[in-house]
Chain A
Amino acid sequence: GENVEQHPSTLSVQEGDSAVIKCTYSDSASNYFPWYKQELGKGPQLIIDIRSNVGEKKDQRIAVTLNKTAKHFSLHITETQPEDSAVYFCAASVTGGFKTIFGAGTRLFVKA
């Protein structure tokens, strides 16, 4: 069945450093890849997404890259701040489908 693998499970960085989270998906039909940030006690909040017709997308300090051939996609956060500390989930779905498959999550700690 469909699966999304996410690494690392925990990531600790110093404030100002970059953080990279990597995901791999199994369903070659997947063409939409959102990233969600989940803070304690809250629901997942969309922070950025990418569609399969582009290889990279950037929004201020956040960027995502997609390698369709390798079925890899990554989240890059630059100049990390303590408020970036949260659990980050990658996900994959098929536009026109309904099910979104989530990765297991990465707990990011940004130390001041």
Chain B
Amino acid sequence: GDSVTQMEGPVTLSEEAFLTINCTYTATGYPSLFWYVQYPGEGLQLLLKATKADDKGSNKGFEATYRKETTSFHLEKGSVQVSDSAVYFCALSGLNTDKLIFGTGTRLQVFP
């Protein structure tokens, strides 16, 4: 079945460092891909999405590119802030469904 694999955390960075969180997927056909963020004590917020190969999703300085050839959707940010500390989830939804399949999440900790 469809699945998502994320790098394990925590990822610990200093403020203004470059961030990469790896995400790869297994799916039939061409899924839509998402990154969600979860701040402590809160639900999930959509960070960005991409619906077809080579699409780049971006929001709040974060970016991710849908790479069909490597089945990847890595999250990047050029300069992280303390306020970016949260858990990040990579997810996919298959054709004609909005049911989401999530990875296990990656905790990001940013220190001043």
B is a partner of A? no
Binding site for B on A (CB under 8 A): none
